Amino acid sequence: MSSQLDLDHPLFQRVSHWVNLINFLVLTITGFLIHSPYPGMPMNLVRNLHFIFMYLLIINGVLRFYYSFFGKHKDYGDFFFNKQDVKTTWPQIKYYLFIGKHPKTGKYNPLQKLAYIALPIMTIVQAVTGFILYRPEQLSGAASYFGSLAAVRGFHYLLMWLFIAVIAVHVYLVFTTAYEQFLFMFFGKGRKEKSVS
């Protein structure tokens, strides 16, 4: 007998979610420190931490992507946009703006799907710009695609704020509309275990 939440969020997905949370937290803190260092700060340590957790984020992303297609609980289909998502996108926006009713959706609503598709793409772009900033002389040609090294730095910083905004909205919506899933994602069970046959 398994709970519905257990079927929706198997252990691997929950562990991957935890790892992502830690990675994003460390990357954000170290990113701020790199952008605005204070006197006497151990910059080598901060940069090394930033890169270690960036690699962990990428490795976790690759494993999660593989799991989505080849794992025991394949879920890649949950992220694809369908006709129903096109119809419910505007109603979902209205619901989030408190001016409409909650539309009927699948496991993920269309805005969630857009966010979950955008995050890996943003991560790849962020990693590319991060490598350019780390090796500006060797990757000066790549920097020119963005206009200049200063543009790369600005884009990297702006993208960090976009990550923060997406994660902040995600956390807000979890606590206001999916608290049971939050409990299960982080503790492995909700307030009341419900069994399904």
The domain limits of the chain are 4-187
Average pLDDT over residues 67-84: 88
Q: Are 122 and 162 in contact (CB under 8 A)?
A: yes
DSSP letter assigned to residue 81: -
Q: Within 13 Å and on the Cβ side, how many CA atoms surround 29?
A: 10
Mean pLDDT of 59-88: 90
pLDDT at 188: 67
Structurally, at CATH architecture level, domain 4-187 sits in: Up-down Bundle (1.20)
What is the secondary structure of 83-111 as a DSSP string?
HHHHHHHHHHHHHHTTSSPPPP-SSS-HH
Global confidence as pTM: 0.81
50 falls in which pLDDT band (50, 70, 90)?
A: very high
Q: Is the pLDDT of residue 196 over 70?
A: no
- Cβ atoms of residues 69 and 76 within 8 Å: yes
pLDDT in tens, 128-168: 999 999 888 899 889 998 889 999 999 999 999 999 999 99
Confidence of residue 197 (pLDDT cuts 50, 70, 90): very low
Mean pLDDT value across the chain: 86
Question: At CB < 8 A and 24+ separation, what contacts does 160-169 make?
Answer: 160/28, 160/31, 160/126, 162/122, 163/24, 163/28, 163/119, 163/122, 163/126, 164/28, 166/115, 166/118, 166/119, 167/24, 169/115
> Does 191 score more than 80 pLDDT?
no
Q: Is the pLDDT of residue 37 over 50?
A: yes
* 50/34 Cα distance (integer angstroms): 9
Helices and strands counted in the chain (H then E): 8, 0
Predicted confidence band at 1 (pLDDT cuts at 50, 70, 90)?
Answer: very low
